[in-house]
Amino acid sequence: MKKIKTDVCVIGAGSGGLSVAAGAVQMGARVVLIEKGEMGGDCLNYGCVPSKSLIHAAKAGMGYVQAMEHVQSVIGTIAPHDSQERFEELGCTVIREFARFTSPNTVEAGDFQIKARRFVISTGSRPFVPPIVGLENTPYLTNETIWDLREAPEHLVILGGGPIGMEMAQAHRRLGCNVTVIDRSTVLAKDDPEAAEVVKAALRAEGVDLREGEAVASVAPEAGGIAVTLESGARIVGSHLLVATGRVANADSLALEKAEVNRDRGGVKADASLRTSNRRIYALGDVVSGNMQFTHVAGYQGGVAIRSLLFGLPAKATRDHIPHATYTDPELAQVGMSEAQARKAYGDKLEIARAEVSGNDRAIATARAGEGFIKVMVVKGRPVGVTIVGPDAGELITLWSLAISAKLKMSQIAGMIAPYPTLAELNKRVAGAYFTPRLFENPKLKTAVKLIQRLLP
């Protein structure tokens, strides 16, 4: 057993772990980085990068084989940035093995025993496979295995109508596949219902069969494919089955009890400073119980952890300003509170400002002025939440993340100048909509203007 002593040991080379490792080693800390699978984690290899590449390929009209080749090309282009070679060049010791705690300050990984002053657990998550009757004996795909296909599914049946399910549904439909999405609740249930309806209508118009409020009773192999039987008695036969019913934290194999790290069914328990019950061990990203499971969250939390890890400074991760997006067409994005959450929290103090995509000149010029809108939840002149559905919603939402983080006022957003014509004008227009009743529907203001006009020379 080879023994290593280090300042920081990072377990997991996904977004969060790589952020911590790169930052720490470049600031002079000794860093050991342990990864059992592919460098870059789920996001690069199975999640964000391949899914958005497939969405682009489908929209560009590529054939299925060409689309999947494009996906692999994109992964290959980005991979060197996350590679073992790059991190070794930065000065990290990279170990490609399973990691398991053997004490509160020691882990074993293959033939190595690593003793560290601080640990960071960033092992991410994996697809959740529900206990459906017959599933264990039926071939199925997840977001990790669907990228191995090189022949278009004739009929893709998707279990789960969350972001992954909906993105894959639209992409595969545009690639010529028949697609059925089954969800026991409602599709995009965690998003603003009004905005979700816009996305659902778009997918239905393209031919995606959405089955909401339908629970699956069982699945079974069928000649050349699969059969899904619903509790309602309906039976759906498809060529391929994609399970997209959520994520589960990768915390089972770490022997956390030996590290004196508490966990629950959701994953590792960590406080706002990202510290676990063992104060020398931090946790971030998908592996943290109750965390928002997005790549950019793990990256953000990596930056927060570095401040405490390297400098001993107080640092806490917040979530009010963290946006998320579903990259369907139209896109759906959210930051801060939804309308329902804001109404519950603020009651009569809440004001809603709204602007329609159909009124945006760039959207009209590029034939993207279909249904869509931006809705801002405002309290005392400051945005507390924003919902956007429409073209490039994931790009437009970033301004509002800054606004909430920096506690900007709607007047400051209204003062922004956007080049004409751009979709970004929507952000300015919705801020203007907030002030419209104050300026143009205010009788006292109109009286004052008339008086001033009479007095002016």
Q: Residue for token digits 């806490």?
A: 316
H helix or E strand, kind and range, residue 375? strand 373-379
CA–CA dist 405, 93 (Å, integer):
36
pLDDT at 448: 74
Residues 167, 51: contact at Cβ < 8 Å?
A: yes
Question: For the domain 135-245, what is the CATH code?
Answer: 3.50.50.60
What is the rounded (10 degree) CA torsion for 65, 70, 75, 78? Answer: 170
Identify which of 200, 216, 288, 204 has the alpha carbon closest to the alpha carbon of residue 247. 288
Residue 416 has pLDDT above 70, yes or no: yes
Sorting pLDDT into bands at 50, 70 and 90, what band is 64? very high
Band of residue 256 on the pLDDT scale cut at 50, 70, 90: very high
Query: Could you report the per-residue pLDDT of 4-56, keeping only the tens digit for each?
Result: 999 999 999 999 999 999 999 999 999 999 999 999 999 999 999 999 999 99
Check pLDDT > 80 for residue 246.
Answer: yes
Reduced DSSP (H G I as helix, E B as strand, rest coil) percent helix, strand, coil of the chain, to 5: 40, 25, 35
Please state, in angstroms and rounded to a whole number, the distance separating the CA atoms of residues 301 and 310: 14
Q: Picking from 251-255, 276-280, 307-311, which range would have the lowest pLDDT averaged per residue? A: 307-311
d(CA 254, CA 106): 12
Question: 283, 120 in Cβ contact below 8 A?
Answer: yes
- Answer whether residue 241 shows pLDDT above 70: yes
Calculate Rg over the CA atoms of the chain: 25
Three-class SS state of 406: coil
CB 122 within 8 A of CB 11: yes
Nearest to 76, CA basis, from 44, 101, 119: 44
Q: What is the pLDDT of residue 316?
A: 93
- What letter would DSSP give residue 164? H
pLDDT digits (tens, 9 = 90+) for 150-189: 999 999 999 999 999 999 999 999 999 999 999 999 999 9
Contact indicator for 387, 396 with CB cutoff of 8 Å: no
Fold of 2-39+83-126+248-311: FAD/NAD(P)-binding domain (3.50.50)
Bigger pLDDT: 20 vs 445: 20
Q: Do domains 2-39+83-126+248-311 and 323-440 have the same CATH topology?
A: no
State the pLDDT confidence band at 437, using cuts at 50, 70 and 90: confident
Residue showing tokens 């990068």? 49
pLDDT at 286 (0 to 100):
96
Q: CA dihedral in degrees (296, 297, 300, 302; nearest 10)?
A: -110
Tens digit of each residue's pLDDT (9 = 90 or more) over 332-366: 999 999 999 999 999 999 999 999 999 999 999 99
Tell me the Ramachandran region of residue 65: left when phi exceeds 0, alpha when psi lies from -120 to 50, beta otherwise: alpha
Tokens (6 digits) for 152: 């278009």
Mean pLDDT of the region 314-319: 92
Please give the helix or strand (H or E) that residue 312 lies within, else none. none
Strand locations in 72-224 (E): 93-95, 100-103, 106-109, 112-121, 125-127, 155-159, 178-183, 209-212, 216-222
* pTM summary value: 0.94
Q: What percent of the chain has pLDDT over 70?
A: 99
Contact 141, 172 (CB under 8 A): no
Going by C-alpha positions, the residue among 116, 122, 262, 258 that lies closest to residue 270 is 262
Query: What's the mean per-residue pLDDT of the chain?
Result: 95
* Three-state secondary structure call for residue 218: strand
Phi, psi of 232 (to 5 degrees): -75, -10
Residues 6+ apart with CB under 8 A from 150: 64, 65, 68
CB burial of 351-376 (b: ≥16 within 10 Å; e: otherwise) equals bebebbbeebebbeeeebbbbbbbbb
Domain positions in the chain: 2-39+83-126+248-311, 135-245, 323-440
Picking from 369, 364, 360, 379, the residue whose alpha carbon sits closest to that of residue 430 is 360
Q: What angle do CA 172, 175, 181 make, to 5 degrees?
A: 20
Please report how many Cα atoms fall inside a 13 Å half-sphere around the Cα of residue 55, on the Cβ side: 20
| Cα 97 from Cα 111, distance rounded (Å) | 9
Q: CA neighbours within 13 Å on the CB side: how many for 345?
A: 13
What is the pLDDT, as a whole number, of residue 445?
A: 65
pLDDT of residue 440: 63
Decide which of 3.40.50.1100, 3.40.50.970, 3.40.50.2300, 3.30.390.30 is the CATH code for 323-440.
Answer: 3.30.390.30
Q: Is the pLDDT of residue 392 over 90?
A: yes
Mean pLDDT over 226-253 rounds to 96
What local confidence, expressed as pLDDT, does residue 55 receive?
A: 97
Q: With beta carbons less than 8 A apart as the criterion, state whether 276 and 270 touch.
A: yes
User: Where are the strands (E) in 12-74, listed by range?
Assistant: 31-34
- pLDDT beyond 90 at 442: no
- Residues 367-371, mean pLDDT to the nearest whole number: 87
- What does residue 403 show for φ and ψ, rounded to 5 degrees? -60, -45
Helices of type H across 120-253? 163-174, 193-205
Residue 296 pLDDT exceeds 80: yes
Identify which of 163, 167, 141 has the alpha carbon closest to the alpha carbon of residue 59.
Answer: 167
Percentage of the chain exceeding pLDDT 90: 92
Q: Which of 54-68, 115-129, 308-322 has the lowest mean pLDDT?
A: 308-322
Q: Which two tokens stand for residue 38?
A: 């592919």
Strand, helix or coil for residue 447:
helix
What per-residue confidence (pLDDT) applies to 240? 98
> In 3D, which of 383, 451, 386 has the Cα closest to residue 411?
383
